Structure 1
Amino acid sequence: MRVGVLTGGRDCPGLNAVVRAVVRKGVQEYGYEFVGFRDGWLGALERETVPLDIPAVRGTLPRGGTILGSSRTDPLAHENGVGRIKDTLAELEVEALVTIGGRDTLGTAARLADEHGVPCVGVPKTIDNDLPGTDYTVGFDTAVGVATQAIDRLHTTAESHKRVLVVEVMGGESGWIAVHSGLAGGANVILIPEQPFDVEQVCGWVTSRFRASYSPIVVVADGAVPKEGRVVLRGGATGQVRLSGVGEWLAAEIEHRTGKEARTTVLGHTQRGGSPSPFDRWLATRFGLHAVDCVRDRAFGTMVALRGTDIVRVPLREAVAGLKQVDPARYAEVGVFFG
């Protein structure tokens, strides 16, 4: 059997570990051949491929990014996109397709599998951890580690200058990175998209920390908004909206309202870059091993997922339905450290 592999959407650490595991087990145990599609669904549309064998994936376990390249191409938005995908697979004699991605990439895979009979198996990756079908996604743990290390470092400079430091992390619609890194890093305020925040309350918490001779750290997801409803957005070059700016806006508000000097650190794409954490390598490897088992069993239209410590199979449609956001009770747990 010949199997195709693609990585779609935004990059994150751990993608290469998935590809490595798929290829290693597929070749060694099942005798499969593999072909990699360049730049996600774009490669499947344009028939842009790279050979995938054991030498090609050797040494890639700790490597960030993706050796296959990625893009946010939606083949369903292209003229005869489904037909072109099917023609590519038929021409290359590809009998199964392992798709590694987030909500958009796997949502496309779900439609192709359910509505058009394309034999897809999904692997969940996104630093946002917002896929409802799995406990954790590839890339999330590394992003939390990067953000936590930054918060740890910022505590000392905040204390040295008696400043407020606002740390903006990624999280356009869900605040998992903010909650996990903020709690792990000892932040004094954590703001997430799920809970619109009161600027006056934030300033009250900041003032309270200064009374205790402590310089506060505020962690804010880039999709968080104040109760007043003001959202700070910046348009991307491709016409897509990129969330950014709430950290700078909030720092200016804090400084204006409290009289305390405030500075912003925007972590941005550093959360996506670099080598995957040990947990992400473990998770990505297990996902890859189980994904190729799905191919063997012809369990198409499914996604591998983490439930507790077990890897299970869930229907792709269910895995990408809705958005996994931070539960109010989970957010309330960390509130004891605010102010």
Structure 2
Amino acid sequence: MTLLVPAPETVGVQPAGTDPARPGLVARLAAEAFGTLIVVVAGLGVLLFTIPQSNPLPAALAAGLALTAAMLAVGYISGGHINPAVTVGNAIAGRIRLAHAAAYLGAQLVGAVLGAVALFGVLRTVPKIDDSQAAFATVTAGFGEHSIIQVPMAGVLLVEVLGTALLVAVFLATTASRNPARAAAPFAVGLTTAMLLQLGQAVGNVPFNPARATASAIFSGPDALGQLWLFWVAPVVGAAIAGLVFRGFAQSHAQPAAGPDAAELDESALDEAELDESAPDESEPAAKPAAAEPAGVAARVVANGDEDTAPADDEARSFFDRKGGK
């Protein structure tokens, strides 16, 4: 049987013989904004309106389940990052272009702020809540005197870096094209988030998500905004650590599998992604027989007969695309 190597724009997206258009950047940004809105509404809303005596679901678990639902809902469009730290980790790992990563961060912030606006509006309608800003302050990330147990800046910084590194590592590992358990990626990421949030709430409402931290700080007053920098710097550092480790691991794993050409596979795929997607080269067909391709391209085919779905733009999104196409 002849194996076909798809063009870069459609790698890992469709079964052989089909060539529907890949979701455009605007659709992916809308998906990221919507997914982040879901996570913020659940993650902050459950905390804001929890009645301890009658609430059957812990807020951390609710936030983790919301993330799982959001990834399942929009992952086939955007890859299901739904967190600026995850996007940074994907960019450093070489899975998404820097320009697209920056756009993802903007969309995630928009979705998070919209979710916080909706919650703030609900708070204003509750007669027993006189100060909506003070209510938001109780669920906003902070350190020192703004931490529930007075954890100093160094402690919160360490927890945020470590937790984000673990979260991004789980995302990168479970959505990798060669991971046989990648169908469970949304559940693994959601459960990891729930576990980390249980720790983060005790330390200082640490969210391991800069978009969520920003959304809550905006409605919590100047004190929260003054500490917001830590909840951007620490997650970016943690995401960078996970992205660099995963990138090195992926390269060392690929080289012995298919010879010297395989070591350059990630970089060449990223270079292909820098081409103008709106003006494809019509002089060459979208798919060629594997036998006619040079060794570097043939390395895209996995030994078990499946195509290596490490796409030029976002490997996680291609995984969800493949699941949606079955």
Q: TM-score, normalised by structure 1?
A: 0.28
**Per chain length, whose mean CA-contact separation is higher, i.e. which structure has more relative contact order (CA < 8 Å, sep 6+)?**
2
Structure with the higher fraction of residues in helix conformation: 2
Structure with the higher fraction of residues in strand conformation: 1
